[in-house]
Amino acid sequence: MSIRALNSAASGMDAMQFKLDVISNNLANAGTTAFKRSRANFEDVYYQHLKLPGMLDAQARPTVTGTSVGLGTRVQSTQLDMQQGSLIDTGKQLDLAIVGQGFFQVLDDNGIVNYTRAGNFFKNANGTVVLASADKGYPLTNNEITIPTNATDISVGADGQVFYSEPGQTQLQSAGTIQLARFINPQGLLQRGENLYLETAASGAATIAIPGIDGMGVIRQNALEASNTEPVRELVDLITTQRTFELNGQVVQAADQALQLIANLRRY
């Protein structure tokens, strides 16, 4: 009996340690642009059935309940919370936020399409609009947006159309249209860091559309989407996780004491 308790409590401590790691990552990214928090899901594991429900007793009557004991818990999955983050007005012309569903599409150095909710775009040395990164810039994939270096004003509409003006001209020039992608199961996307996601078999194929069409969100200029991590909520989860970890540790101590008592019975 004490051996089962040790194993179950140890699995509980391991699960709470994993949840602590998830909470730590959520809090660390509370200030990350368009970050989506994760939630750790757990499930109970195998049961040892000493008597199955419905078995016949000595009088040939079916038992109402059975007798069984669980063998602990394990991590089932980590689930992305794709809830919209709050919008922060920045006043920068190439700061873009998606209001509603959708992802920006950017291209990495290997020619692979990546998806992101972060909209902190810049112009590189060639005037191409790229997603900012610590190491490089990722250009938009659908239609490469290039803006001349002498452009005095940049306007991005809710439908993704990009316009700019040049000195001495009164008519706006079109630089192209930013299209968005959405997935039937965005929780199935693969997180690769740098605010980027990759398509997987679980997410399904991307649906590409102009913002505001076919259920796609719209683009808001001069704003960024903030992380949807709520520090107060994470701190409550942190306290609960700590207490659960400590309780499982007490079970380990109690089971160990019981085993010591049993081992010492031979001395009497």
Short-list 197, 258, 181, 195, CA closest to 225: 195
Short-list 125, 138, 180, 134, CA closest to 156: 180
Cβ-proximal residues to 169 (8 Å cutoff; 6+ apart), any chain: none
Helix or strand or coil: residue 89?
A: strand
**DSSP string over 8-59:** HHHHHHHHHHHHHHHHHHHHHTTTSTT---EEEEEEE--EEEEE-TT-B-TT
pLDDT given for residue 88 in this prediction: 96
pLDDT given for residue 63 in this prediction: 77
Range with the lowest mean pLDDT among 61-70, 110-119, 150-159?
Answer: 61-70
Inform me whether the pLDDT recorded for 163 exceeds 60.
Answer: yes
End-to-end C-alpha distance for the chain, whole angstroms: 22
Work out the average pLDDT over 197-218: 94
Work out the average pLDDT over 187-201: 95
Inform me whether the pLDDT recorded for 115 exceeds 80.
Answer: yes
Inform me whether the pLDDT recorded for 254 exceeds 80.
Answer: yes
State the Cα–Cα distance between residues 8 and 261, nearest whole angstrom: 20
Please tell me the number of Cα atoms within 13 Å of 1 on its side-chain side.
7
Inform me whether the pLDDT recorded for 258 exceeds 70.
Answer: yes
Q: Which amino acid is at 35?
A: F
Work out the average pLDDT over 92-113: 94
Q: Where are the alpha helices (DSSP H) in the chain?
A: 2-28, 231-264
- Whether 208 and 179 have beta carbons less than 8 Å apart is answered as yes
Averaged confidence pLDDT in the chain? 90
pLDDT given for residue 1 in this prediction: 57
CA distances, 268 to each of 5, 19, 120 (Å): 26, 45, 74
Bigger pLDDT: 105 vs 3? 105
User: Quick one: pLDDT band at residue 60, thresholds 50, 70, 90?
Assistant: confident
User: Quick one: pLDDT band at residue 56, thresholds 50, 70, 90?
Assistant: confident
Inform me whether the pLDDT recorded for 266 exceeds 70.
Answer: no
Work out the average pLDDT over 125-153: 85
Work out the average pLDDT over 211-218: 92
Please tell me the number of Cα atoms within 13 Å of 224 on its side-chain side.
21
pLDDT given for residue 267 in this prediction: 61
Please tell me the number of Cα atoms within 13 Å of 40 on its side-chain side.
21
Inform me whether the pLDDT recorded for 142 exceeds 70.
Answer: no
Bigger pLDDT: 68 vs 33? 33
Short-list 266, 216, 241, CA closest to 99: 216
Phi-psi region of 85 (alpha: psi -120 to 50; beta: other; left: phi over 0): beta
Decide the pairing of beta strands 223-225 and 104-107: unpaired
Determine the longest span between alpha carbons in the chain, in angstroms: 103
pLDDT given for residue 243 in this prediction: 96
User: Quick one: pLDDT band at residue 268, thresholds 50, 70, 90?
Assistant: low
Query: Using one digit for the tens of pLDDT, what is the confidence trace for 170-186?
Result: 788 899 999 999 999 99
pTM of the predicted structure, to 2 decimals:
0.86
State the Cα–Cα distance between residues 152 and 111, nearest whole angstrom: 32
